[in-house]
Chains A and B, each alone.
Chain A
Amino acid sequence: MALIVPACLLMIWDLMVRVTGTRLVPSPFGVAQMMWDFAFGGIYDDAYSGSLLVHLWKSVQRVYGGFLCAAAIGIPLGLMLGRIPLLRSLLDPTLSLLRPIPVTAWLPLSMIFFGLGPRAAIFLVFLGAFFPILLNTIFGVKSVDVRLFEAADMLGCSGAQQFRSVVLPAALPSIFNGLRLGAGFAWILIVVGEMTGVPEGLGAVIMDGRTLSRTDLVITGMIIIGIAGFLSDRILMMLSNYFLRWSPQHHA
């Protein structure tokens, strides 16, 4: 069933290319050839043949570097902001001001901070993933039922232990939501991050394809990023299911 829509889209695409006779957009078969060549080589034998793993590995490193930094800072900060009103009133205005600035607008600044190269890309990915993780964590902590705290108090559970046994489990579904959103943004931003000054990575391949007039390469890069993003989301979902196995309603 799931294959009906993609198959129809492919047919429409193929038909449109044939009818218009455009040379700027390759046919699905042309893209399939390029994907094969990109993964295994042997067809065109140019600079991109058989280089998929190199580019994918570079991008995965940057995506997860930025994403894990965002999680490492976003989750603890979110937990604290959710629990400590003083901290919230201190930081909330600043965060609210920074949040609406599009991450892509940080590109010129990040190139000045970090120079050319992968660090600027990691910073952009970090920024893009940071806010969804932070906000969802805050939301999760704030929405813990007050009666749970009262119940925990009566059972003699307080302080750090309360945090571990009440706050964290109750906020976990939201935190995972934030992580999934953040990982999605991370894959979106890798293309922007790799636009300038990095020779390897899926975003760099897409931009090279653009400047070299190789649309088949651009679409190949897009498909690979799509697949990689989908797989990384599945992994997060499996983790989420594992950690929330006590809660039937949070099974995705």
Chain B
Amino acid sequence: MYSTNRRDFIRLTAIAAALSTTSIKAFAADRVVKIGTLKLIHGVTPYFYEKFAPDGVKFEVIPFETPTDGKNAVVTGTVDFGIFGFAAATLGGANGEPVVVIASACNRGMAVVAKKDSGINTIRDLKGKKVAILPGSTQEVVILDRLTAEGMTIKDVESMRLSFSDMAPALARGDIDAYVGAEPGPGISLANGVGQIVEYPYSTPTGSLNMVLATRRELIGKDSELIKAVLKTHRAAAEYAMKDREAFIAIAMQKLGQQKPSIEKAAPNVELTWNIDDQFMKQAQYYGSQMLAKKQIRQEPDYKTFIDPSFVKALTAS
């Protein structure tokens, strides 16, 4: 029977203490900043952060399946920054959660896709059809707006809740007639010959506003230097990825595990961004008013605190 005597115990404690201090030292050397993003082609910007990382900062990218999960990760402090649809951010902001939009992340990246040769060529043709929509997504807000513009409501279609990554396979299996998806889903459906684009739904006053970069309020008060550094990186990464298409496609293939043909179909429908300009503010407020009108939120967020353009403004001035 083996037992730990007192001397062994003291030795063990000393070793454990020594080991833990070394790891603390390692942490001090490099600050690890966690960035949450969605498993979408327009969410790949953080994968380029490492290339432009400021000294003493290491980025860890954590992928999420739905926008709301990403928003919750930011609010609960699981990640320091998060990239997700503006709809999820607005859901949190309207609830009074401490989520603050500090930069834009991408425009476009959405598409309404129907089965090829199904005769669904316009939004009106969706009447009575099975359409996959993800609640809480920017796509949902946009399609509700498009339906209104066509004189229809959500009750005119049979909506099904599917996450973005389930939409293309469900269309291929024939479980749904159409979906309101996020790239690379539409790219996949085009590349495998299953789907056709009904439209890229950017004609509403929301325009093509899609995803934003957000953080939690407490970090803004506590660590504005870090936020400045991260935004500088974010801008450099977005501009680089937009210039170097090959690198953008390569990273997207690697991180999303998709084939080149589908990524190439999806890439032109993506615009990585960083700035918050007057148009952004206008679209954002229209967005909130739409969500309120559709009863997705009970009051609009306080835009003065919910969107904080001061950091990107400082970046533009520098």
Interface residues in chain A, defined as those with a beta carbon under 8 Å from any beta carbon in chain B: 23-24, 44-47, 112, 115-117, 196-199, 204, 207-208, 210-213
Q: Mark B126-167, 1 if CB is under 8 A from A, else 0.
A: 000000101111000000000000000000001111110010
The answer to whether the Cβ of B243 comes within 8 Å of any Cβ in the partner chain is: no
- Quick check: B160 and A199 within 8 Å, CB to CB? yes
- In the complex, chain A residues whose CB is within 8 Å of the CB of B75: 23-24
Does residue B98 face the partner (Cβ distance < 8 Å to A)?
yes
Q: Is the CB of A212 within 8 A of B97?
A: no
Q: Are B91 and A212 in contact (CB under 8 A)?
A: yes
Chain A interface: which of B33-41, B52-60, B64-72, B188-196? B64-72
Query: Are B158 and A213 touching (Cβ within 8 A)?
Result: no
* CB <8 Å contact, B97 and A117: no
Taking chain A's interface residues, is the majority helix, strand, or loop, or is none over half, making it mixed? loop
Q: Taking the nearest CB of chain B, how far is it from the CB of A115, in angstroms? A: 5
Q: Are A197 and B161 neighbours in the complex by a CB distance under 8 Å? A: yes
* Top-3 shortest CB links A-B: A116-B175, A211-B136, A46-B295
Q: Which residues of A contact B159 (CB under 8 A)?
A: 199
Question: Contact at A212–B135, with CB atoms within 8 Å?
Answer: yes
Closest B residue to A209 by beta carbon equals B135
6 residue pairs bridging A and B, Cβ less than 8 Å apart: A115-B174, A116-B173, A210-B66, A211-B161, A212-B135, A213-B92
Contact B97 A204 (CB under 8 A): no
CB of B196 to closest CB in A, whole Å: 20
In the assembled complex, which residues on chain B have CB atoms less than 8 Å from the CB atom of A210? 66, 68-69
A23-B95, A117-B175, A211-B134 known; A196-B295 Cβ under 8 A: no
Complex partner residue of A197 from B91, B96, B97, B162, CB under 8 angstroms? B162
Interface residue range, chain B: 35 or more
| Contact residues in B for A199 (Cβ distance below 8 Å) | 158-161
| Minimum distance in angstroms from B301 CB to a CB of chain A | 12
Instruction: Tell whether, in the assembled complex, residue A24 and residue B158 are in contact, meaning their CB atoms are under 8 Å apart.
Output: no
Contact of A115 among B68, B96, B135, B173 (CB under 8 A): B173
If A211-B135, A212-B296 touch, does A196 touch B162 (CB 8 Å cutoff)?
yes
Known pairs A116-B170, A197-B170; A208 contacts B135 (CB<8 A): yes
Give Cα A211–Cα B91 distance, bound, in whole angstroms.
10
The contact of B68 among A23, A45, A212, by CB within 8 Å, is A212
Residue in A24, A46, A47, A211 whose Cβ sees the most chain B Cβ within 10 Å: A211
- Give chain A residues whose Cβ lies under 8 Å from the Cβ of B68: 210-213
